[in-house]
Chains A and B, each alone.
Chain A
Amino acid sequence: MAVNERTLTPQGTKGAWKKQLWNSKTLIIMCIPAIIYFIAFSYAPLPGIYVAFVNYNYRKGIFASQFVGLKNFDFVAKSGKLWSLTKNTILFNLAFIVLDNFLAVTVAILLKEIQSKWFRKVSQTMMFLPYFISQVLVGLLVFSLLNSDTGFLNVVLKKLGAEPLRLYKTGDPWPIIIILVHLWQKTGYNSVVYFAAIMGIDSAIIEASMIDGANGWQKIKHIILPSLRPTIVILLLFALGGIVKGDFGLFWNLVGRNPILFQPVDIIEMYVYRATVSDFNFSTASAVGLYQSLIGFILVITVNTIVKKLEPDYSLF
């Protein structure tokens, strides 16, 4: 209707625009609290990114501090820290993405094999528990299992007459521990999506394959896995879009307070957190944060473009 009026007179265009605004006033008002919220907490911090380009002075504030160009970026880049943070963040995420999805698919397929409904429900509920607890408790759980004095692992080792493992004295085993804890916490949750997808497979297809004499492994290989492929591809792609975003809560609560442990596994979020909260070095923190945001932004846009080509229904925007 608006198009028709526009072709009539310029005045009509103006009237239609006003009319449209008036007609949707209630819906606009309904969106206003959320709009104000996102302005206050997501858009308002954006000008503050400028702190990455100044030598921040607390008394002068961000915008009156001395402009230093890219010096803050140079500082973290030249020391090699930026590269090691990026490398750690990406490598951990790659490990998480590959292993998370592999294990989640495995669990989903095996869950389908469980015949007893009761057994399936109870085990699924048990596997879901770690998703619901805070990362603080995860830190305490890991400490209770692994610390060298009272930890469960060393209680068992002592009983077996073996030497205790002093895992909190060296950084070497922590990449593996972090990955295992991540799998422990996320697999129950991740497998739900795949389990729902398996349940969605037309039972007639599986039935037909069994009449044709397909065995268990053949069913998995030729029916279940191919039908999960779109789900796997989409989830993997979106995970790749977030590959520079670290799981701060997990890292911080496992190793964040112990320099011996965190130095070899330091990720971008931990560095930014320390620089902000402990060192009050806002300019460096913001430089690293901006670098991460920009890469993340480019990656998400790229991934979305790819998904749009593959499966337009699943694209984000």
Chain B
Amino acid sequence: MARKEKDYDMLDSVSKVKLTGSDYVIRGIGYVFITIFALASIFPFLIILGTSFETEENIISYGVTLIPRSFNTDAYDLVIKGGTIWASYGLTIAMTLVGTACGLFVCAMTGYALQRRDFPYRNAISFFIYFTSLFQAGLAPYYLLMTQTYHLNNNYLAVLLPLMMSSWLIILMKNFAKSVPHELTESGKIDGAGDFGIFLKIVMPMLKPGLATVGLFLALGYWNEWYQSSLFLQNKTVLPLQYRLYKIVNEAQSLKNSVASQYVDVNNLPSESLKMATAMMTTGPIIFLYPFVQRYFIGGMTVGAVKG
């Protein structure tokens, strides 16, 4: 990638000499179009951010806003004083850490084993795992299994476990593991190391880009999770962050429950600014972190994630 980028810059220096009229037109369109698209991509966030610092009266009279007319942090105070948001934070962080760590380890272990050319059962096991993405039972049988057979209704495991792995992530990891030279495994064998030892001590350190990419996909999945929660955690008091937001956005009662009644009249809540402040608080960490990790997601798309 770095080399191509360099080639491309060299190309620029050539093109600077011989630009035709339509080159300038396309370049101009490029700057205008990309600027508009980029601004449109962040605009709704700026609206939420601006409105979260606005008073409820102003929101109702003037609508949402980029720049608050009377800057205040009442909505945030109310969310924070309610206290329960920290429990949600704790739950989401715990699930993200535990789920990502466990999922990552198993994905890496399986992905490494499945790309070993001297592993005779690799194709059979790969297909066994891959088949799960080709044909699914559907929501109703899955729901019945989780609630009637596993009895996971109102159990955080019902959210933690289903997000831990997917055939796609294992295949992605397998492709990353392929790029670790097979000679390392061979030399490990000669030194008398077992397959698991080779994986843990020799391959894992070489697998860092793959671990970062798969780990970040897993972590994003856990942080943004609301779907499994909406199926299985309906009666829990402490909810994962995004499902908490989902409830507050969609149910008036949840909005009332989210704040502490001793601080405010719950029948006269600043509901609009509260929603905005909750949205900012549940999404904030992602907005701050994603610019630093986005390259790993790009890696996930370009490492040949397609091939099984």
Residue numbers of A with Cβ under 8 A of B are 20, 24, 26-31, 33-35, 37-38, 40-49, 51-52, 61-62, 106-107, 109-115, 119, 122-123, 125-137, 139-145, 149-152, 154-155, 158, 184, 187-189, 192-193, 196, 199-200, 203, 206-207, 210-211, 213, 215-218, 220, 234, 238, 248-249, 253, 257, 269, 272-273, 275-277, 282-283, 285-286, 288-290, 292-293, 296-297, 300-301, 313-317
A116 to B107, CA, bound (A): 39
User: Which residues of chain A are within 8 angstroms of B114 by Cβ–Cβ distance?
Assistant: 31
B48 adjacent to A144 (CB under 8 Å): yes
Residue numbers of B with Cβ under 8 A of A are 1, 4-5, 7-8, 10-12, 14-15, 18-27, 29-31, 33-35, 37-42, 44-45, 47-48, 51, 59-60, 62-65, 106-107, 109-110, 112-114, 116, 118-121, 125, 127-130, 132, 134-145, 148-149, 161-162, 164-165, 167, 170, 194-196, 199, 220, 223-227, 230-231, 242-243, 245-246, 249-250, 272, 275-276, 279, 282-283, 286-287, 290-291, 294, 297-298, 301-302, 306-308
The 4 closest A-B pairs by CB, nearest first: A289-B138, A48-B141, A113-B30, A45-B137
User: Which residues of chain A are within 8 angstroms of B120 by Cβ–Cβ distance?
Assistant: 20, 24
B220 adjacent to A132 (CB under 8 Å): yes
| CB closest residue in chain A, given B194 | A26
A144 adjacent to B20 (CB under 8 Å): no
Least CB distance from B193 to A in Å reads 11
Most chain B Cβ neighbours within 10 Å, of A44, A133, A290, A315: A133
A238 to B149, CA, bound (A): 35
A282 adjacent to B245 (CB under 8 Å): no
A283 to B138, CA, bound (A): 11
Q: List 28 A-B contacts (CB under 8 A).
A: A26-B194, A27-B121, A37-B165, A41-B162, A44-B145, A45-B136, A46-B141, A48-B137, A106-B33, A112-B30, A113-B31, A114-B30, A119-B31, A127-B41, A140-B249, A141-B47, A149-B63, A151-B63, A155-B64, A199-B8, A210-B15, A272-B139, A276-B143, A285-B139, A286-B138, A289-B139, A316-B306, A317-B127
Total contacts A to B, CB within 8 angstroms?
308
Residue from the list B27, B63, B109, B128 in contact with A113, Cβ < 8 A: B27
Known A33-B109, A34-B165; judge A150-B59 contact (CB<8 A). Answer: yes
Most chain A Cβ neighbours within 10 Å, of B31, B138, B167: B138
User: Which residues of chain A are within 8 angstroms of B227 by Cβ–Cβ distance?
Assistant: 248-249
Known A115-B12, A150-B60, A200-B4; judge A128-B195 contact (CB<8 A). Answer: no
A136 adjacent to B246 (CB under 8 Å): yes
Q: Is the interface of B mostly helix, strand, loop or mixed?
A: helix
A51 adjacent to B144 (CB under 8 Å): yes
Residue from the list B41, B136, B302 in contact with A130, Cβ < 8 A: B41
A293 to B135, CA, bound (A): 6
A28 adjacent to B121 (CB under 8 Å): yes
A110 adjacent to B30 (CB under 8 Å): yes
A107 adjacent to B63 (CB under 8 Å): no
